[in-house]
Amino acid sequence: MNYWEDIEIGRNFETGEITVTAADIIDFATKFDPQPYHLDPAVAEHSIFGGHCASGWQICALMMRLLVDTMNRDGVRSVGSAEVESLRWHRPVFANDTLNAQICVTGRKPSTDYKQYGLIDCAIEVVNQSGEKVISLTTDMLIEREEEVTDE
């Protein structure tokens, strides 16, 4: 297991991969972001994006899946995020794009709200199969502490 005390600034995590299909894009858009360029590939060809692309919010959800799977794989005792400080969409994700993410720990501090957890600051970049950045964000994550803390 990796507790907050075990995670150093500069540590990098590389996620697995996930491929976005046209059906995934349409399903997500139908439920959560019904923009014409997400719902209809023919309409999407004439949009500002020039093709059938996924909702930015779908990409955020996929990033979260990659992050959770990676933390579980590496035994990191993560319980969630307290804040997303910044988020930027760099380029669209199209049907059949394959994504992965790099997660870099940029800071760490004890949580002032939850003594049993510490916070790690993370810079996350999601890239497509060509290595092109599709989203980037900075966030913090609550990580379980190994030892109970009574006062800080």
Q: Which domain holds residue 92?
A: 4-144
Residue 26: inside a domain? yes
Q: How far apart are CA 30 and CA 27, in angstroms?
A: 5
Residue 127: inside a domain? yes
Q: What is the CATH number of the domain that holds 16?
A: 3.10.129.10
Which candidate, 14, 32, 30, places its Cα nearest to that of 22?
30
Model confidence over 27-68: pLDDT tens digits?
999 999 999 999 999 999 999 999 999 999 999 999 999 999
What is the DSSP code (8-state) at residue 130? T
Residue 25: inside a domain? yes
Residue 94: inside a domain? yes
Q: Are 24 and 98 in contact (CB under 8 A)?
A: no
Q: How far apart are CA 40 and CA 81, in angstroms?
A: 34
Residue 150: inside a domain? no
Residue 108: inside a domain? yes
Can you give the pLDDT at residue 151?
61
Give the count of alpha carbons within 13 A of 52, CB side only.
Answer: 18
Residue 29: inside a domain? yes
